[in-house]
Amino acid sequence: MIASLELEAIAPDGRRFPLTIGVGTPYLDDELMTWRCPVEVRPLHQKLIDQTGSDSLQALCLAMRLSKTLLEDFVARGGKLLMDGEVFRFEPYFGAWMETGASAPPKV
């Protein structure tokens, strides 16, 4: 993994456990002639399919989006995510443009 983050997760039943989000280095799949990027959200999902894009940046962005979607799903189902004892804030890590329903990055 080229980047990772550890959070504390609280399941809907109150069980606490460490949660690791990781994104790997995009690589060219010579057989399929596409770019792929590893992603993990453990222990919620033990083996995720490497995300596929037409170039390395797209594969990386799709891996980030998948990790965010899986974390949001955990929270929507009643789970909680903590960072340093505080509620985990998605925006500093995933940006406002990755918010659900946003169609494009903010204009600068």
With cut-offs at 50, 70 and 90, classify the pLDDT of residue 106. Answer: low
With cut-offs at 50, 70 and 90, classify the pLDDT of residue 97. Answer: low
Is there a cis peptide before residue 26, judged by omega within 30 degrees of 0? Answer: no
pLDDT value of residue 108: 54
pLDDT value of residue 46: 86
pLDDT value of residue 95: 85
pLDDT in tens, 5-34: 999 999 999 999 999 999 999 999 999 999
pLDDT in tens, 46-69: 899 999 999 999 999 999 999 999
pLDDT value of residue 102: 52
The helix (run of H) or strand (run of E) holding residue 32 is none
CB 53 within 8 A of CB 29: no
At residue 104, does pLDDT exceed 70?
A: no
What are the boundaries of each domain within the chain? Answer: 3-98
pLDDT value of residue 82: 98
CA separation, residue 96 to residues 89, 93, 103, 104 (Å) = 11, 9, 11, 9
User: From its phi and psi, is residue 28 left (phi > 0), alpha (psi between -120 and 50) or beta?
Assistant: beta
From the CA atom positions of the chain, what is the Rg in Å?
15
C-beta neighbour count of 88 within 10 angstroms: 18
At residue 70, does pLDDT exceed 90?
A: yes
